[in-house]
Amino acid sequence: MCWSSGKDSAWALHALRTAGDVEIAGLLTTVNQAASRVAMHGVRERLLEMQAEALALPLTKVLIPDPCSNEQYESAMAVALEQAKRDGVTTMAFGDLFLEDVRRYREDKLAPTGIAPLFPIWGLKTDKLARDMVRSGLRAQTTCVDPSKLDASFAGRTYDESMLDALPAGVDPCGEHGEFHTFAYRGPMFSKEIQVRPGAVVERGGFVFADVLPAESVAPTVVHERGVGMLELWAIEPSEHVLHRLLVELFREHWAAVTFGPLIQGAAWEIRASKKPEKIVLFDGYLTVDFGTLHFHLCIGEHRGDPGRETPRDLAVERRTHRAEFFRRINGDGCPDTWGLRLMNGRREQQLTVLLPNPFVTDELKFRTRPDWSQLQLWDQLRLDYLGLEPDERDRSGSRMLYP
């Protein structure tokens, strides 16, 4: 099933399951690698994964760059389809409704693969279809609006009877002309409702995007580490594309603000770069960040070694990032006083710590007389982007840094 995370994909899947004519092998979704979000819909990867869990179906992500040319998109899809064919997939279903050019495009691209296209809700009248979906209990949130076709105020609205009633004449009630895109979180196709909450609304690239966040709070793991003190840890998915996006963001956009290096018992490397990286490249699972006068390599992905000198599988596993986590240290006053990111390899050894801007310490590593809370802007943004967490008042509760 070609899965967009929206209501039409959800209803097409429901139609297939109701008919019972095919066995659904799984979901296939294109994901913007740079943003870790569903392409065009702007839905967070975690929510996509929660949909797959509620559908009890395996999920295949097709990673595409940003920006992505049509050639790059087709190349990534071709690889995914080849793998699907090898896995025994014979049919690919889509949630398209009536756009003939879109259907022809899909048919043309599938023809050489031997995989047959299937359009289970093709030709249904969209005014009736929209009402049928809503009356069945399906609910979705509008995640993207094209303001040239629909007022931006519709971004973030719940797809329900009241929204359908409010749509102006000329706007397709299913948004088939690209007026809007959605994230489906409830309906007869799901085993349970996906609990969500609205996030920020932003304009980007000529579209208006409304963020959707998991409703549940991501609780940290609390640990006490000797010589460090109490730490609150938030785990991040240690996949290659998530870590690549995060590290590129930190060292390309915030290189002047962060301090980095491994922090272990008996050694603390606290490095500040003097200039922007000359290059950041990923090769054979290793991310290289090169500042010219210094550089480092991190194994964050699948590492194979050179042809004829392949790295033993167990060694490759040990080298790769096994755990990634945001952290904040809680001092003797019971308040946070240090914020950062750290990575551990498969042997549980620390690969890297990145210390984020600190409200209690100046760039010259001197204590401030008063906290500068603007220094937490990067921490707040990383929490929102990677954990779906809004700023926490507790981060601004302290008055000083205390060494353990």
What's the pLDDT tens digit per position in 313-357?
A: 899 999 999 999 999 999 999 999 999 999 999 999 999 999 999
d(CA 156, CA 380): 22
Quote the pLDDT of residue 325. 97
Residue 370, amino acid: R
Maximum average pLDDT range among 19-23, 65-69, 215-219 = 19-23
The mean per-residue pLDDT over the stretch 173-195 comes to 97
Quote the pLDDT of residue 17. 97
Q: Give the domain ranges of the chain.
A: 7-214, 221-396
Would you call 207 helix, strand, or coil by DSSP? strand
pLDDT band at 36 (very low <50, low <70, confident <90, very high): confident
The mean per-residue pLDDT over the stretch 263-290 comes to 95
What's the pLDDT tens digit per position in 287-316?
A: 999 999 999 999 999 899 988 899 998 999
What's the pLDDT tens digit per position in 375-392?
A: 999 999 999 888 888 899
What's the pLDDT tens digit per position in 98-144?
A: 999 999 999 999 999 999 999 999 999 999 999 999 999 999 999 99
Question: How many H-runs (helices) and E-runs (strands) does the chain carry?
Answer: 9, 23
| CA-closest candidate to residue 254, choices 168, 163, 379, 155 | 379
Q: Answer positive or negative: Cα dihedral of 131, 134, 140, 142.
A: positive
Task: Outline where DSSP puts E strands in 42-124.
Answer: 59-64, 91-93, 116-118
Residue 373, CA distances (Å) to 235, 253, 319, 361 in order: 24, 20, 37, 11
The pTM of this model reads 0.76
How many residues are listed for the chain in this entry?
A: 404
Quote the pLDDT of residue 369. 93
H or E segment to which residue 319 belongs: helix 313-319
The mean per-residue pLDDT over the stretch 7-20 comes to 97
- In this structure, which long-range contacts are made by residues 301-309, counting pairs with CB atoms below 8 Å and at least 24 apart in sequence? 301/240, 301/243, 301/244, 302/240
CATH number of 221-396: 3.40.1570.10
> What is the DSSP code (8-state) at residue 112?
G
Phi, psi angle pair for 376, to nearest 5°: -90, 5
Contact between 326 and 340 (Cβ < 8 Å): yes
